[in-house]
Amino acid sequence: MIGDVHGCAAELEELLARVGPVEGDRVVFVGDLVARGPDSRAVLELFRRAGAQSVRGNHEERLLAARAARVGGAPGPRLGASHAELLSVLEPDDWALLEALPLELTLDEHGVRVVHAGVVPGLSWEQQDPWMVTHIRSVGSDGRPSERWGTPWGELYAGPPHVVFGHNARKDVQLHRDATGLDTGCVYGGALTALVLAEGAEPPPVTSRRDVLVSVAARERYADYGRGLA
């Protein structure tokens, strides 16, 4: 399971070489494959070559919304330069790939649910707000979920399943009892991180979970992160 790539193709290629997936292995991304980084189309090509799966991230959602608005002649979401460029250069098969990305992937043999941002603690999957699944970062003192920073939702979440997610970029992985956050901010000069589980294995306890993590350092800082990686 691989954290937010954001177009960092060189780092993804290096990470895949280090992990060395072979036929029969499952490669799963937490979303935000594209945008902000240097080569989103190369990332999509690596994704196809690996026979990978991914959930939909908020950046894929933004691009799809912008494309739908353009086709329909309606105002779309505001786009940064990298998103605007992708709107022009992605090919039909790229759009088809993004459109097919699901909101979640359940890996039963590992006891894992993969989502982009997270879940609201205490709610069943059927009760989750799809927008929040791709945007949540925290839960306030009043119990309300938020896309802003605060108490990480993973601190309050009790599985099963174990939730593997991205979205909330940090210098280090987020290790909670029943959740693991893999966005270590590669596009912001951090690292690209994977959680690697053997066949049938579940994520180990926090005390030993780092033993199943593999990271490669970003080759450079491709984009600014407004608040700085914490």
CATH number at residue 202: 3.60.21.10
Rounded Cα distance between 222 and 217, Å, is: 13
| Model confidence at 228: pLDDT above 70 | no
Residue 47 pLDDT > 70: yes
Does residue 70 fall inside a structural domain? Answer: yes
- Cα–Cα distance between 35 and 7 in angstroms, integer? 6
Let me know if residue 199 belongs to a domain. yes
Residue 13 lies in a domain: no
Indicate if the pLDDT at residue 128 is higher than 70.
Answer: yes
- Beta-carbon contacts of residue 204 (< 8 Å; ≥ 6 apart): 211, 212
Residue 14 forms part of a structural domain: no
pLDDT mean over 142-161: 95
**Token output for 56:** 């939909």
Tell me whether residue 228 is in a domain: no
Mean pLDDT, residues 16-43 taken together = 96
Supply the range of the domain harboring residue 201.
25-217
Q: Share the mean pLDDT of the chain.
A: 95
Task: Please say whether the dihedral angle defined by the alpha carbons of residues 87, 92, 94 and 96, taken in this order, is positive or negative.
Answer: positive
Question: Is 222 contained in some domain?
Answer: no
- Split into its structural domains, the chain has a count of 1
The answer to the question of residue 162 being in a domain is yes
How would you class 60 by CB atoms within 10 Å of its CB: exposed for 0-12, middle for 13-18, buried for 19 or more? buried
* pLDDT tens-place string over residues 94-122: 999 999 999 999 999 999 999 999 999 99
Asked whether residue 16 is domain-assigned, the answer is: no
